[in-house]
Chain A
Amino acid sequence: MGIEKIFGDSLITTSVNAVVNWARKNALWPMPFGTACCAIEMMATLSGRYDLSRFGAEVIRFSPRQSDLMIVSGRISIKMMPVLIKIYEQMPEPKWVISMGACASSGGVFDTYTLVQGVDQFLPVHVYIPGCPPRPESLIDALLKVQEIVAGPLKQADPEGTLLSTRSGAMALTPASCATKATPA
């Protein structure tokens, strides 16, 4: 490689995309959409003991226009769903969504007339976290999974590219498969 021969180790060449995505992945600004007890776990994850800022995502933005990662933590009723969609639409591209907990992912125990049975029916969800509520470790794991998605093409474990299991059970979806509801393998 030409120019590196001249300057040695003091210089590397890369692509703009790689640099920009590296910056995005290490400075995710979450938009907390906390409606239930999952939000308590999310707060615990953000605060000192679990300290999400170790992964560059400590700048919680309560304005969707300044954030690029939405954490849907809690149950979403049919009265709340238009609000959620409106807030999601206000977030600038590129943006990612974590569906935190059983209620946001599937309705959980609230199989009733008033609760949306999974926000992924209406929003593209990138990472699901199981649990009721999930532990902070699960949210951290999901954030690392989002960082993998942000950084670029996933190292696919499966050729179809639908699911990628992780240690805590969180699943990552490739952007192409996010539009449709996926069933855990």
Chain B
Amino acid sequence: MTPEEIVQKLVARFGDKVSPSGSPGISRSFAVMDRDHVLPVLSYLKDDPELSFDFLADVTVVDYLRLEDPVVRERFAVVYQLLSLKHNHRFEVKARVPEEDPRAPSVLELWKSALWGEREAFDMYGVEFEGNPDMRRLLMPEDYPGFPLRKDYPLHGRGERDAFPQYRPQPDAPRAADTQASQA
């Protein structure tokens, strides 16, 4: 099925919970929804025999900080890239995530490949995925203070890369043989 047909099918099934988006000639059609509807819509996309999206190719986040999008309307959108190996078609789903409460439901129960994708999205954008049991940073150091791919994060960071102690050689501890010799 083409993405346009899939969007029509979703609108027929879920009504105004799903907003179609995408511009012909610029991007393929995709569906935008509130984060509360992610799990029902994505499990429908996975389980419907005509769609049967059996592979989650990627989970990531878009920061719409300086990008007024009439359909997304929120600061963040979680993007799910779906692929059906059975029917050889692809589809993209976006879930709105507000800035003041950056959380989204985990789709780990549907596709195991969400584990690291959600960890990377959390690492880079600070969106927490509820239900993912391993919400640790994936790439950055564990004690890294910020979320570097947010558009309001400075490119050079906030001094993290200059924060190591300069190596200084330590004076040798006295050897046991020396102390024994001085005692004798």
Chain A residues packing against B (C-beta within 8 Å): 78-79, 81-82, 85, 88-89, 93, 111-117, 121-124, 179
Q: A79-B141, A93-B169, A113-B148 are in contact. Are A121 and B164 (CB under 8 A)?
A: yes
Chain B residues packing against A (C-beta within 8 Å): 140-141, 144, 146, 148, 153-158, 160-167, 169
Q: Are B164 and A117 in contact (CB under 8 A)?
A: no
- When distances are taken between beta carbons in the complex, the residues of chain B under 8 Å from A93 are 169
Q: List 17 A-B contacts (CB under 8 A).
A: A78-B144, A78-B163, A78-B164, A81-B164, A85-B167, A88-B167, A89-B167, A111-B155, A113-B146, A113-B156, A113-B158, A113-B160, A116-B161, A116-B164, A121-B162, A123-B167, A124-B167
The chain B residue with its CB closest to the CB of A82 is B164
**Cβ of A111 to closest chain B Cβ, rounded Å:** 7
Q: Is the interface of B mostly helix, strand, loop or mixed?
A: loop
**Cβ of B184 to closest chain A Cβ, rounded Å:** 27
**Cβ of B165 to closest chain A Cβ, rounded Å:** 7
The chain B residue with its CB closest to the CB of A120 is B166
- Contacts between the two chains (Cβ within 8 Å), count: 49
Q: Are B141 and A122 in contact (CB under 8 A)?
A: no
Q: Are A114 and B157 in contact (CB under 8 A)?
A: yes
Q: Are A113 and B157 in contact (CB under 8 A)?
A: yes
- When distances are taken between beta carbons in the complex, the residues of chain B under 8 Å from A82 are 164
- When distances are taken between beta carbons in the complex, the residues of chain A under 8 Å from B164 are 78, 81-82, 85, 116, 121-122
The 7 closest A-B pairs by CB, nearest first: A113-B157, A79-B141, A122-B164, A113-B148, A78-B161, A123-B167, A81-B164
- When distances are taken between beta carbons in the complex, the residues of chain B under 8 Å from A121 are 162, 164, 166
- When distances are taken between beta carbons in the complex, the residues of chain B under 8 Å from A116 are 161, 164
Give the complex CA separation of A85 and B163 in angstroms: 13
**Cβ of A118 to closest chain B Cβ, rounded Å:** 10
The chain B residue with its CB closest to the CB of A123 is B167
Q: Are A113 and B167 in contact (CB under 8 A)?
A: no
Per a CB cutoff under 8 Å, which of B146, B154, B162, B166 touches A117? B162
- When distances are taken between beta carbons in the complex, the residues of chain A under 8 Å from B140 are 79, 114
Give the complex CA separation of A142 and B155 in angstroms: 33
Q: Are A112 and B169 in contact (CB under 8 A)?
A: no
- When distances are taken between beta carbons in the complex, the residues of chain A under 8 Å from B146 are 113
**Cβ of A116 to closest chain B Cβ, rounded Å:** 5
